[in-house]
Amino acid sequence: MESNEHVQQDKNLLNFIEAKIEADLQSGRYGQKVYTRFPPEPNGYLHIGHAKSICLNFGIAQKYGGRTNIRFDDTNPVKEDVEYVDSIKEDVQWLGFHWAEEHYASDYFDQLYAWAVQLIKEGKAYVDETPQEVISKNRGVPTAPGVESEYRNRSVEENLTMFEKMKNGEFPDGYCVLRAKIDMSSPNMHMRDPIMYRILHAKHHRTGDKWCIYPMYDFAHGQSDSIEGITHSICTLEFEVHRPLYDWFCDNLHIHHPQQIEFARLNINYTVMSKRKLLQLVKEGYVSSWDDPRMPTICGLRRRGYTPESIRNFADTIGVAKRENVIDYSLLEFCVREDLNKKALRTMAVLDPVQLVIDNYPEEQTEMMDAVNNPENPETGVRKVPFGKYLWIERSDFMENPPKNFYRMSIGKEVRLKYAYIVRCDSVEKDAEGNISVIHCTYFPETRSGMPESNRKVKGTIHWVSENHCQQAEVRLFDRLFSVPDPDDVPEGHSFLEHLNPDSLKIVNACVESSFIDKSPLAKYQFERLGYFCIDKDSTPEKLVFNRTVALKDSWAKLAKQE
Ligand code: ATP
Ligand code: MG
C-alpha cells in the first residue's frame, strides 16, 4: 500500500496542527482558547474529503476543550442553494458533531462593505475599470513585476463615489472591481492587487436582491473568521499561497487575527471528489442521485451502510499530512468492516441460489436451528432459523469437478450446513442447457449441534436458507465507480467519465432468511460469508431491498497481487 505510507503510526504523537495549537496555548497568544470552524460553500453535497475536514476541525476543538462553528461560505450567489445548506447540516450532525454557532458569510456583508470603505479611505483599495482580461494579463508572471493599473492612483473621493455606485447597481456585471492596493511586484501573485469585490447582479439565497456586489473569498474568509473569534483557521494546502493576503487584511483592518493553518486535502483512489464532477455525475444520470451508494458523498456512504464511527475512524487513521497524497480506497472499506463486525447482526442469504434437496429428510418437517446473532457481541443472543428438506445454497458452493483445495460441496463429499447438519452430496440434476438445477444430499441426524456426532470433522461449512421459509429480496451489489485509480488523469480533450466502471452496479434477486428483526432503512446485517449489507430506503415490507456495504474480504487487494 504505497499510498498509505504517511499514515500516522503513533496516535500519541502530536500532529503538526496540534503542535502549533499547543505552542499557542503555551504562549497564551489567544489566551487558553481554541476555536475552529468548518466553512463549506453550499454548492453541493459534502463528500468524504469534507468529512476529513469536519473530523479535524471538530476533533481538535474537542481535544482542547474548545468550540467549532459551522459557517456557510455563501459569497457566490450563482451556485448556491438552501437544499445544500440543509444537507450539509444533516451530514455534520450525522457524523456526530455539534457546532457552537451557525453562521453565514452573507451575514457579514454589511461589515465587509464597511471594511472595504475603510481601506479605500486609507488609500489601500481602489476601483479598477480595467477590463478583466487586461487585469489578469497585467498581473504578469511571478518572476517579473506586473503592470500597475491606470486607475491605481485615483483619489480617495473618486474611489468612494465609484464604490458607492458599484453598490447601488449603476454598473453592469464585470464593469469594474474593487482591488486592494498591495504590491504589483510581489513574487506572490495573490498579493498583486487582489480583487476584493466584483459586480454580480444575482439573487442571493439569503440576502435576496440587497446586494449586486459580492466579496471575493479572500476578502470574506479571514474577516469572517475574525468576527467569530476563530483562533485557528484550518484549510487545505491550496490556500497556503493565500495566507499572506489573509494576514494582510487582518493586519490592515486591525482586527482579531486568527492563525491560518494548511493541511493536505484528502484524495482517495478510484473516485473523484470535486463537487463540480460529483454534480455532473448526478445531473447527467451516471448515478441515481447525490446519495447513490456508489458516490463518495457522506449521504452516499450513509445509504451504502457506512457508520459515522467508521468514517471518523478512517479520518483519524489517515491523520493529517503536509503533502498531497492518495489514500487507498481499501482503507475506507477496512474501517467500515471493522466497525460492522462489532455491530451488524448475522443472517443468512443466498445471492445466486441453486436448490438443495435432502433426500432422507422428512417431507413435512421443519426444525428451528439456533443461530448466533453476533459472535462478537454475545448480548445480541441467538435466533431461530427454520430448516427443512428444501434449501437454497450458493451456486458457487458446489463444484462438479473441484480442484484439490475446494472444501465446499462436490459429489461424494461432506460439508456442514451452518447451524444444522452435516450432509453428503450424492448427485445433481441439470436443466436443458446443462446447468445444475438440483443438488441431492443425504443428511446425518446425529451431527446436529448438541447431538453425539456434532463434533464430526468436515473441512467446509456453507450457509443456506430454507426454501419454504425464506423471502425474496433485491440485493444491489456495488463496485468501485471508476475502474482506474486516478479517474482525473485523462489526456486533453478527454473526460473522467470515460473511466466510469460499467459494472459498478449489479442487481440480483436473493433468498434471505425471514427472521429479520429490523427492516427499517439503514438496518445493518452481515450476510454470513458474503459481506455487510444494509436495508435501502427503496425497501418496502413487501419487497426488501439491500445494499452491499462491503464484501467480507478485499477482492481488489487480491486483484492487485495477481497483476
Ligand atoms: P470541492 O473542490 O470538492 O468543491 P471545496 O474545497 O471547494 O471542495 P468547500 O465547501 O469550500 O469545498 O470546503 C469546505 C471545507 O472542506 C474547506 O475547509 C475545505 O478546505 C475542506 N475540504 C474540501 N475538500 C476536502 C478534501 N478533499 N480533503 C480535506 N478537506 C477538504
Ligand atoms: Mg470551494
552: CB partners within 8 A, 6+ apart: 337, 526, 529, 530, 531, 532
**pLDDT, tens digit, for every residue of 104-120?**
999 999 999 999 999 99
> What's the helix, strand, coil split of the chain in %, to 5?
30, 25, 45
> For residue 5, is pLDDT > 60?
no
Residue nearest to atom 16 of ligand 1 (CA): 50
Instruction: Say yes or no: CB of residue 41 within 6 Å of ligand 1.
Output: yes
CA 86 to chain centre: 17
Instruction: Say yes or no: CB of residue 39 within 6 Å of ligand 1.
Output: yes
Instruction: Say yes or no: CB of residue 221 within 6 Å of ligand 1.
Output: no
Ligand 2 center from residue 360 Cα (angstroms) = 67
CA angle 414, 420, 425 (to 5 degrees): 25
Average pLDDT, integer, range 331-349: 96
Angle between helices 156-167 and 109-121 (to 10 degrees): 160
Across 79-83, 162-166, 447-451, the highest mean pLDDT is recorded for: 162-166
349-463 fold:
Ribosomal Protein L25; Chain P (2.40.240)
For cell 436448490, what's the residue? 355
Q: pLDDT category, 470, cuts 50, 70, 90?
A: very high
- Candidate list 139, 265, 343, 418, residue with the active-site label: 265
**pLDDT, tens digit, for every residue of 305-320?**
999 999 999 999 999 9
Write down the mean pLDDT value for the chain. 94
Domain ranges of the chain: 4-263, 275-345+473-562, 349-463
> For residue 6, is pLDDT > 80?
no
4-263 fold:
Rossmann fold (3.40.50)
**41 classed as catalytic:** yes
pLDDT score for 79: 79
CB of 46 closer than 8 Å to CB of 91? yes
Higher pLDDT, 79 or 331: 331
Instruction: Say yes or no: CB of residue 53 within 6 Å of ligand 1.
Output: yes
CB of 246 closer than 8 Å to CB of 218? yes
Ligand 1 center from residue 192 Cα (angstroms) = 25
Q: Which atom of ligand 1 is nearest to the CA of 273?
A: 3
Higher pLDDT, 405 or 517: 405
Closest CA to 547 of 563, 531, 529: 531
Residue nearest to atom 27 of ligand 1 (CA): 49
At 202, list the grid cell: 444575482
Q: Which of 3-12, 136-145, 166-175, 356-365 has the lowest mean pLDDT?
A: 3-12
Give pTM, 2 decimals: 0.93
Q: Report the 10 Å Cβ neighbour count for 405.
A: 6
Cα(514)–Cα(357) distance, rounded to whole angstroms?
20
Q: Ligand 1, from 50, 74, 316: best to mutate by most atoms within 8 Å of Cβ?
A: 50
Q: pLDDT category, 168, cuts 50, 70, 90?
A: very high
> For residue 373, is pLDDT > 90?
yes
At 373, list the grid cell: 446473532
- Candidate list 71, 275, 304, 524, residue with the active-site label: 275
Q: Ligand 1, from 236, 274, 311: best to mutate by most atoms within 8 Å of Cβ?
A: 236
Instruction: Say yes or no: CB of residue 474 within 6 Å of ligand 1.
Output: no
Instruction: Say yes or no: CB of residue 49 within 6 Å of ligand 1.
Output: yes
**pLDDT, tens digit, for every residue of 247-288?**
999 999 999 999 999 999 999 999 999 999 999 999 999 999
Closest CA to 196 of 119, 260, 103: 119
pLDDT score for 559: 53
Q: pLDDT category, 125, cuts 50, 70, 90?
A: very high
* Distances 72 to 41, 217, 258, 359 between C-alpha atoms, Å: 6, 12, 18, 67
Cα(43)–Cα(237) distance, rounded to whole angstroms?
20
Q: Which atom of ligand 1 is nearest to the CA of 52?
A: 29
Cα(223)–Cα(103) distance, rounded to whole angstroms?
13
* SS3 assignment, position 23: helix
> For residue 24, is pLDDT > 70?
yes
Q: Which ligand is nearest to the CA of 235?
A: 1
pLDDT score for 4: 43
Residue nearest to atom 29 of ligand 1 (CA): 265
Q: Which atom of ligand 1 is nearest to the CA of 43?
A: 10
Ligand 2 center from residue 430 Cα (angstroms) = 59
Residue nearest to atom 18 of ligand 1 (CA): 235
Asked if 275-345+473-562 and 349-463 have one fold, the answer is yes
pLDDT score for 454: 86
275-345+473-562 fold:
Ribosomal Protein L25; Chain P (2.40.240)
pLDDT score for 13: 85
pLDDT score for 2: 38
Q: Report the 10 Å Cβ neighbour count for 543.
A: 11
Instruction: Say yes or no: CB of residue 237 within 6 Å of ligand 1.
Output: no
